[in-house]
Amino acid sequence: MVRALDPDKKGSTIWEQDVARGIGGGSGEIVFGGAVDSQYAYFGLHRGNGLVALRLSDSVEQWFTPWKTPDAAQQHRGVVAAVSIIPGVLISGSMDGMLRAVSTGNGQTLWDFDTAREF
């Protein structure tokens, strides 16, 4: 569950949005923090195995991008680290060893890199 709180009204809830994918109540879905820009909040999903963007003004989900986990890493799915943002790009590492960059506008993958290999 993601909530927007009003700091001027003692933290009262402005909106809340359940971003869970396939699990009741969102248990363990967002493990670490998200990132925000001027319009959206972005979160990595553990069991949902992807990224989601919520509009800050009203919590409407703008996009969800599920990850295709490489066959060799099927037992290591999901995003359990905080996501990072630079203008126009959301960067995320995931348990499958992939480092990915996606467009903040539509969630489409810009590039990815497999770190779970020999160097």
Domains: count for the chain? 1
Model confidence pLDDT, tens digit, residues 55-68: 999 999 999 998 88
What is residue 47's predicted lDDT score, i.e. its pLDDT? Answer: 80
Asked if the structure places residue 5 within a domain, the reply is no
Instruction: Dump the DSSP string for 25-41.
Output: GGTTS--S--EE-SSEE
Q: What angle do CA 41, 44, 45 make, to 5 degrees?
A: 120
Looking at residue 94, which CATH number applies to its domain? 2.40.10.480
- Position 2 in a domain: no
- CA 71 centroid distance within chain: 22
Comparison of pLDDT for 39 and 96, the residue scoring more: 39
- 105 in a domain, yes or no? yes
Residue-range definition of the domain harbouring residue 105: 28-114
Predicted TM-score (pTM) of this structure: 0.87
- Residue 13 belongs to some domain of the structure: no
Q: Is residue 49 part of a domain?
A: yes
Residue 47 covered by a domain: yes
Residue 4 lies in a domain: no
Task: Look at residue 20 in the predicted model and tell me its pLDDT.
Answer: 83
Residue 116 tokens, joined: 């779970």
In a domain? residue 51: yes
